[in-house]
Structures are given as C-alpha cells and as structure tokens.
Structure 1
Amino acid sequence: MSLRSRLVARFGFAVVAVYLVISLTFLVVVFTPDTNLRGMLGTALWSGATPAEMDQMRETYLAARGRNQPLLTRYLDWLVNVTLFRWGLSVSMGEPVTRLVADASLRTAAYLVPGALVAWVSGIAAGIRSARNRGSRFDRVGRVLTYVLFGLPGFWLAAVALVAVGGGSALLREVVVPAGVVAAALLAGQVSLTRSRSIDEFDADYVRYLRAKGLSERGIDRRVLRNVLVPVLSMTAAELFSILVLSVVVIEELLGIDGVGWLTYRAVSENDIPLILGTTMVLVVVGIGGSIVCDLSSAWLDPRSRES
C-alpha cells in the first residue's frame, strides 16, 4: 500500500473514530447525574423554596445548557455543532468555547511539546547507549534511575516542583517546571523500551557484519536507531495521550496553569456542555491525530509495515 493510499485510509478511519468518540461522549454527558443541579435544588429546598420555584429553577438550568430538548434533537444538534465548529458560549465562563479552548491549548502545548521532545530525544539516546554498553556503569545507573522514575507519581513530582519554584517567574512556573514533570513522566518508558529493542538489534547478524566491515559505532547506532524508532514512536503516541488525559489535569491544577487539563476539569465540574464538547474535541484530535502521524511515520521509516 502506497503512502497516499494509507493516508486516505487513515483519514477515513479518523473521521469515523471522531464521530464515534463524540457520540459516546454525548451519551456519557446525557446519562451522568447532574450533581450541580441536585445541589442547587437541595439548597433551594433547604432555603424554603416552593415546588413551583424549584421547577422553574430546574427548567432555567436545563434550558441554559440546552438540555430541555428531545434526546434525538440534542444529539443531532451536537453532531452539527461539532462539524461546523459552532461550540457556542461557555455556560460557566460566559465566553466563546472556541476561544477558551484555543487559549488553553496553547498554554498546554507550551510545556507539553518541549517536555515530550526532551523525553523522546534524551530517552532514545540514553537507551541506545545503555544497550550498546550494557553492563557498564552508565547502564547500571541508568536502569536504577529508570526504575525510580517509573515509581514516582506525576502528582508528587508536580507538588515537589511547586514547592521548589515558590514564587518564581511565570515562564518558570508555566513552562519550565511542567515541561520537566512531563519529561520525567515519559523518560523512563522511552529509555526502557529503546534499550530492550536496541539490545536485540545490537545482537543481530547485520550488526556483526557491519562491524566486520569497519563501520564506526556511530554509524551502527544510526542503523539501530532507524529500526527501533517505529515501536518507540508507537509508545510515545500512547503515553502522550495518557498524560494529556490524566497527568495534565493534575499538573495544571497544582501549578495553576489555565490549560486544557484545568479547562476540562472546570467543564466537567460545572456540567458545562459546550465546554465539554470543546475540550473533548481537543482530546480526540490529539489522540487520533497522533495515532495517524505515528502510523504514517512508521510506514515511512519501515516500508515493510506498508504491507500489513
């Protein structure tokens, strides 16, 4: 299969996957009990509100969130709004959802992208060196540090970083520190996978043949790197999505960053349907888009995978 055919096929898969995820998100939102509404009605009842006043309060609340329409109408509106990027105004914040999501995405990307790149480059370099010199001091120390990083939870790293920076500059608190936390969360997996894959490559017959021909160790490293990049890229895409969904919420809540994680938490806690729609689209684009980029990169790096 050519790269162009593969791109068309993956784009079709992406479209189907996006609407499937959006549909599942709609069902989760619809059938999840609204604790905000329950709490508001409970407070009103405690304050002595009449049944008519409580009914009016409920109707106003549901109408403001577009939840007073039939289920099919709400679902069709949901799909149309997704397709046309008509995400409306945030109920809880009173601003256009597209602007809120765009601003939050930039704040998150400002530290997430550098952190992922640092972890990717340094993790692959350390993994290949550790595999080439396995049993050396560098290899032993690197493996110990890898196990330590595997055991450190992201929220603990973020809390320690928050104490360490104290009243540091905005650049330090919103970019440098969270990027370091992201890099630490990804680095252990990068080093471990690269090392295990590279060991098999360094023991392969073609490496012995290249050494016998007098190829330098740097040249051999480049050959090994090309062969291990495909599985490492796949793991990077999966780990980056898990960090975006889970760790970013904790990082931004602790460090006070108004990014996608913070916005997602705000949308869910306020049951802000337009905002939930916008933040869900960010997660969908990152998850599915990253998977497609990883797949196409794998096909470019390893032509054999195009036949699969």
Structure 2
Amino acid sequence: MWRFLARRLLELVIVFFGVTFVIYCAVFLLPGDPIEALGGDRPLPESVQQQLREQYGLDQPIWQQYVNYLGGLFQGDLGTTFTGQSVSEQMASRWPTTITLALTAWVLTVLISVVLGLVAGLRRGSAIDRSVLLGTIIAESVPVFVMGITAQYVFGIMLKWTPIAGVGDGWPRSFILPALIIAIYGLAGVSRLMRGSVIDTMQSDFVRTLRAKGLSRRGIVGLHVTRNAAAPVVNVLAIQLGSLLGGTVVIEAIFNINGVGQLLYKAIQDQEGTLVVGVATTLVLIFLITNVVVDVISSLLDPRIRND
C-alpha cells in the first residue's frame, strides 16, 4: 500500500512541475508586455517600466522566474498582481461562490447521470436508450457558451424562472441554471459509462443465479445491479468533483458570477499574468490531489488496483 501511495505521490509531483511550468511559460512568453499595458493610452516612462520589471522579476530568464515563483509558492505565496493586490486574498473571497456552484453542478451530475444510465441500460435498444445516447452526443457537441447564453435567454429572459446573472437571489435560485449547464457536460460521459456498466452487470453470472432463484427484477436491480454497476462510475464522479472547479470559468463569465472562474477570465483579459498563473496552479493542484485521493480509496476497496 505504501509503495502504491509513494508512486502516486511521485507521479503527482512530476505532473505538477510539468504542468505548472508549461502554464507559466504559456502566460509569460505570450506576445505583449503587461507592464506597458499598465499605462493604457499613456505609456509609462521607460525608467518606471524598468523598475517594475525588476520588482516583478520580469527582467530575468523564464526559468529563473519560474524558480522564484515556486519558491514563493512553497511558502504559501501565490504572488502579487501588477496592481499590488495579493493573489491569495483575491481568490479567498471568491472560493465560496465557486465551490457552491461546483458542488451544485456535481450533485446534479450524479443524480441525472446515474438515473439516465440506469434506465438506458435496463432498456437497451429501446427508444429511451436511443434518446439518451443521442441526447448525450448532442450535449457534448454544443459549445458551452452557446448553451449557456441560450439557457440564459430562454429561462432568464423569456420564462423568468431564474435570474439572468449574478447570485443576488442566493442558493439555489441563482445557482441552479449555471450549475445545470456545467453538469450537462459532465453527465454526458458518465451516463454512457453507467449504461454500459448496467448492461455488463445484467449479463453477469450472479444475476442469472438470482433470476434462477426467483428473485424479482425489481429486487435484482435495486439490491444488486445498481450497486455493482455504480462502482466504476463512482471513481469518475469523484474525479469530476475536482475538474468542475476549473469548468466554471466560462459559465461564471456568462452569468456574471463573482467566483474564481470569473477572476481567471478577467485576469486573462487584463494580462495579469501572475493572477492567471496563481489561479491555474491552484486548480491544477486541486485536480491532482483529488485524483490521488480517489486512487487511494479505490485501491483500498479493490487491492488489485495496487498491482496495475
């Protein structure tokens, strides 16, 4: 078990350094000078620009900048924006909103995907099964911003069921629509996975034995099939909980939700490289830790995984 855990942690460290270095290079090697952008229509004097570059370490090689960033990161410092604001403080005030949105989307994903996959699997080849497969394909094909804007217009403006933007009405009214849009992209793959797992479970030997013993179909499905079919789906759903935090970026921008996703969106627009890297690094770390936790829990439930 300890060897398995050590291997997973080593993989986490390698992936973390690789991904964060790519993110850092992608942000700070892009065309454009964020220091020049601070002046807007009136460029800052060259002496001031040089002083700011030295202050933020932008006059150093990219690898040195990355090492300096890691040094601060290991001390809990995500950096300071070019306007003098702490990245950690800006994120701290927005995390509750993003977490609420992500958790709401995750719960919707769990409820809808399990039900759709179970019904489709039990009615394989029926009109319901084909409808679920077609619906999930369509859901994954439509860009998230198109679906978000359309839902905002239909349910917010035409039907007036939900607020158009913001979270002024609190949970659940302000969160349910954006969370549902996020959930649709998660449940598409999970529902198909659940469907396939249900079909495999229904064809297994122990189900045939239960039928031979005279157990009713409802009892077989309710007590045995659902529990066994959901086992591989649980791992995917657990991993999605971490990835949903990063999936809120576009939706928070569309619905003007004051969360971490919107903070990242505005940071990209304003060329606040330190803020972009800080938010992206935090999201990557959350995702990686979630993966490791899921792997460890899965290995405890099924020791065969440790030997993979």
Q: Mean Cα displacement is larger for which, 282-291 or 28-37?
A: 28-37
Which residues of 2 match residues 206-245 of structure 1 at below 5 A?
206-216=206-216, 217-236=218-237, 244-245=245-246
Return the offset for 1:188. 1.9
Which residues of 2 match residues 189-208 of structure 1 at below 5 A?
189-208=189-208
Residue 290 and residue 103 in structure 1: after superposition, are their counterparts in 2 closer, same or farther (change >3 A)? same
Residue 143 and residue 207 in structure 1: after superposition, are their counterparts in 2 closer, same or farther (change >3 A)? same
The partner residue of 1:68 within 41, 59, 65 is 59
Q: 1:272 corresponds to which residue?
A: 272
Return the offset for 1:131. 0.9
Q: 1:248 corresponds to which residue?
A: 248
Q: 1:124 corresponds to which residue?
A: 114
Residue 242 and residue 153 in structure 1: after superposition, are their counterparts in 2 closer, same or farther (change >3 A)? farther
Residue 268 and residue 140 in structure 1: after superposition, are their counterparts in 2 closer, same or farther (change >3 A)? closer
Matches of 2:26 and 2:98, distance apart in 1: 25
Matches of 1:60 and 1:173, distance apart in 2: 48
Code of the aligned partner of 1:276: V
Q: 1:111 corresponds to which residue?
A: 101
Which residues of 2 match residues 112-191 of structure 1 at below 5 A?
112-163=102-153, 164-166=155-157, 168=163, 169-171=168-170, 174-191=174-191
> Does structure 1 conserve the Cα–Cα contact (< 8 Å) formed by 2:28 and 2:273?
no
Identity %: 27
Code of the aligned partner of 1:91: F
Q: TM-score, length-normalised on structure 2?
A: 0.81
Query: What are the superposed Cα offsets for residues 153-190 of structure 1, whole Å, 9 maximum, x if unpaired?
Result: 32122112322225834326742221111122222222
Residue 143 and residue 19 in structure 1: after superposition, are their counterparts in 2 closer, same or farther (change >3 A)? closer
Matches of 1:265 and 1:83, distance apart in 2: 25
Matches of 1:193 and 1:287, distance apart in 2: 21
Residue 158 and residue 173 in structure 1: after superposition, are their counterparts in 2 closer, same or farther (change >3 A)? farther
Return the offset for 1:298. 2.8
> Does structure 1 conserve the Cα–Cα contact (< 8 Å) formed by 2:81 and 2:272?
yes
**Secondary structure in 2 matching 1:75:** helix
Matches of 1:91 and 1:173, distance apart in 2: 36
Return the offset for 1:255. 0.6
Size of the aligned set, in residue pairs, is 297
Residue 299 and residue 228 in structure 1: after superposition, are their counterparts in 2 closer, same or farther (change >3 A)? farther
> Does structure 2 conserve the Cα–Cα contact (< 8 Å) formed by 1:111 and 1:174?
no
Unpaired segments ≥5 residues, structure 2: none
> Does structure 2 conserve the Cα–Cα contact (< 8 Å) formed by 1:267 and 1:276?
yes
Q: 2:71 corresponds to which residue?
A: 80
**Secondary structure in 2 matching 1:170:** coil
Matches of 1:27 and 1:146, distance apart in 2: 36
Query: What are the superposed Cα offsets for residues 255-305 of structure 1, whole Å, 9 maximum, x if unpaired?
Result: 111222211122233332432332022221232122213323332443332
Q: TM-score, length-normalised on structure 1?
A: 0.81
Query: What are the superposed Cα offsets for residues 7-40 of structure 1, whole Å, 9 maximum, x if unpaired?
Result: 3432333233223322332332332223545667
Residue 87 and residue 140 in structure 1: after superposition, are their counterparts in 2 closer, same or farther (change >3 A)? closer
**Secondary structure in 2 matching 1:131:** helix
Code of the aligned partner of 1:80: G
Structure having the higher helix fraction is 1
Query: What are the superposed Cα offsets for residues 49-72 of structure 1, whole Å, 9 maximum, x if unpaired?
Result: xxxx75224314424533134545
Query: What are the superposed Cα offsets for residues 97-130 of structure 1, whole Å, 9 maximum, x if unpaired?
Result: 1121222232111111121122123212321232
Which residues of 2 match residues 277-288 of structure 1 at below 5 A?
277-288=277-288
